């Protein structure tokens, strides 16, 4: 089972910055959707606004104003620990998301989920396609445009993970060959 995850954050440093939005789509090995979860997440650090990355905030549109239905960081950590347990974490540049997931869990006293240490990263496969001249970039927005994927709201977690899953479905044969090679 796979957990396709995308996060939006207050910056790029998981040790200092926090999650502001999370989207997770669970699929079976054939990439058929099983479930999805989306949450807006309120930063909890007293200095969150002062240390936030203004460039990242501009990309995501996050402005620290309260949003309806927001959950706090601890509730986010609890949900991530529960929802990722036993799954292979996947995404586009998944190392970034994994670093924030692990930091958030640690910060709020949760063990890391018993997710597979191996993940699937569509950016890695896209890099191989770019090297072969099949695409011009590994940017999710550019890939979405070049491959006619729906990606209406770049840097919105659910839109990003839906585009990532669409990309994975296109790249799946190459991804499975790479995964088998990696496991050998």
Instruction: Report the number of distinct structural domains present in the chain.
Output: 1
Q: Which CATH number goes with the domain that contains 118?
A: 3.30.420.10
Confidence of residue 115 (pLDDT cuts 50, 70, 90): low
Residue 173 CB coordination number (10 Å): 9
* Residue 172 confidence (pLDDT): 79
Degrees to nearest 5, angle at CA 139 with 81 and 113? 10
Distance CA 147, CA 141 (A): 10
pLDDT digits (tens, 9 = 90+) for 81-105: 999 998 999 999 999 999 999 999 9
Task: Give the span between the Cα atoms of 139 and 146, in whole angstroms.
Answer: 10
Mean pLDDT of the chain: 91
**pLDDT value of residue 110:** 86
For residue 128, CA distances in Å to 112, 124, 171 come to 30, 7, 11
Q: What percent of the chain has pLDDT over 70?
A: 92
3-state secondary structure the chain: CEEEEEEEECCCCCCCCCEEEEEEEEECCCCCEEEEEEEEEECCCCCHHHHCCHHHHHHHCCCCCCCCCCEEHHHHHHHHHHHHCCCEEEECCHHHHHHHHHHHHHHCCCCCCCCEEEEEEHHHHHHHHHHCCCCCCCCHHHHHHHCCCCCCCCCCHHHHHHHHHHHHHHHHHHHHHHHHHHHC
Range(s) of the domain holding residue 70: 2-183
Q: What's the pTM value of the predicted model, to 2 decimals? A: 0.90
């Amino acid at each position: 089972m796979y957990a396709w995850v995308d996060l939006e954050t207050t910056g790029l440093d998981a040790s200092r910055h926090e999650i502001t939005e999370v989207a997770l789509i669970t699929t079976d090995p054939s990439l058929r959707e099983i479930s999805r979860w989306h949450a807006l997440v309120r930063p909890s650090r007293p200095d969150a606004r002062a240390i936030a990355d203004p460039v990242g905030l501009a990309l995501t549109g996050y402005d620290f104003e309260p949003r309806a239905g927001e959950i706090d960081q601890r509730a986010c950590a609890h949900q991530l620990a529960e929802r990722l347990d036993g799954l292979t974490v996947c995404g586009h540049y998944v190392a970034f998301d994994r670093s924030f997931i692990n930091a958030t869990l640690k910060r709020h006293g949760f063990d890391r989920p018993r997710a597979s240490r191996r993940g699937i990263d569509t950016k890695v496969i896209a890099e191989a396609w770019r090297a072969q001249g099949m695409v011009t970039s590994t940017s999710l927005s550019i890939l979405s445009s070049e491959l006619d994927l729906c990606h209406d709201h770049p840097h919105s977690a659910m839109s990003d993970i839906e585009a990532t899953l669409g990309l994975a479905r296109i790249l799946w044969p190459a991804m499975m060959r790479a995964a088998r090679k990696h496991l050998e």
